Amino acid sequence: MPSVIAIAKCPALIFVRPRFDVYREISAAIHAQFKRYSDLVEGVALDEAYLDVTENKQNITYASTIARHIKTAIFQETQLTATAGVSIKKFLAKMASGQNKPNGLTVILPEDAIAFVEQLPIEKFHGVGEVTAAKMHSLGINTGADLKERTLSELTHHFGKAGHYYYKIARAEDDRPVEANRVRKSIGAETSFAQDLSDISQMLQELEQIAQIVEQRLEQHETRGRTLTLKVKFSDYQRLTRSKTMLAPIGELSTIFEIAKALFESIDLENRSIRLLGISLSNLDNAKQSQAIQLPLFQNGNIIF
């Protein structure tokens, strides 16, 4: 929910600044447990990561067994529960991890993969946001089975490059490897609005909230960036971006918002309403390439926490 709507519904709402030092400490402890079983750990967010346990350090046959061991160890050390998904593909592992939250463990066997994807509501697909799901529903695509019926040409016509991704996952195909030392190229945040925005002041309020999230994520990853990119999607799905590169890296909320606001004000809105706003920083100046956690597990396969 956009913050401006949350405040409207609850005027007494208090926003509490996150304690990222504590988050990083706990994240490191959880990653240490992952590393006991595999060196192939790909951080996704502060609380999420993929593990490839095809060849694991403990020589355990089943990934689901490893997931149970890790879940137990995490709870013993941090008193926090973890949800794990297990399968042979990253996409499937991600989908499995969302099935039984909190503190769940779901396994999608190879022989069940296609059936699982076919019955899945389209809004549950990883990579299908609220706006895309609405567009798919308008096209008669409500489940994975419906998505699978569409040709690659149809999907790329309606969704551009993302159509290739949708075509593959509808068939339970995902050839992406777990990348243990993935270098982060950018950090950002974006918000899709339940109702298109037409008021400039409301747009700027949302833009400032997005800038705050970006600042927090830069703090998480102990980095700053030189190139700021503003992303805008209009109600007719047309997208545009504006970028500015600074001589020195930035990371403070005031500077991020100031530059994003200037880029936004350079756009001729032409009385158009906006469906999405986003800010990202690239050309990162990394003091530390930290990544984070969540699980999937399968016999000789992928795990995501």
User: Which residues are known to be catalytic?
Assistant: 48
| Contact indicator for 58, 36 with CB cutoff of 8 Å | yes
For 65, 236, 267, the CA distances from 240, given in Å and listed in that order, are 47, 12, 9
Give the dihedral sign, CA 227/192/1/266: positive
Instruction: Count Cβ atoms below 10 Å from residue 271 Cβ, excluding itself.
Output: 6
- Count Cβ neighbours within 10 Å for each residue of 199-231 and write b for 16 or more, e otherwise: eeeebbbbbbbbbbbbbbbbbbbebbbbbbbbb
Contacts of residue 161, defined as CB under 8 A and 6 or more positions apart, other chains included, come to: none
| Contact indicator for 24, 263 with CB cutoff of 8 Å | no
The tokens of 246 are what?
């600074």
| Burial classification of residue 19, based on how many CB atoms lie within 10 Å of its CB (0-12 exposed, 13-18 middle, 19 or more buried) | exposed
For 30, 34, 172, 294, the CA distances from 68, given in Å and listed in that order, are 14, 12, 25, 13
Closest of 251, 199, 191 to residue 221, by C-alpha? 251
| Start-to-end Cα distance in the chain | 24
The DSSP code sequence of 35-85 is HTT-S-EEEEETTEEEEE-TT-TT--S-HHHHHHHHHHHHHHHHS----EE
| Euclidean distance between CA atoms 88 and 303, whole angstroms | 9
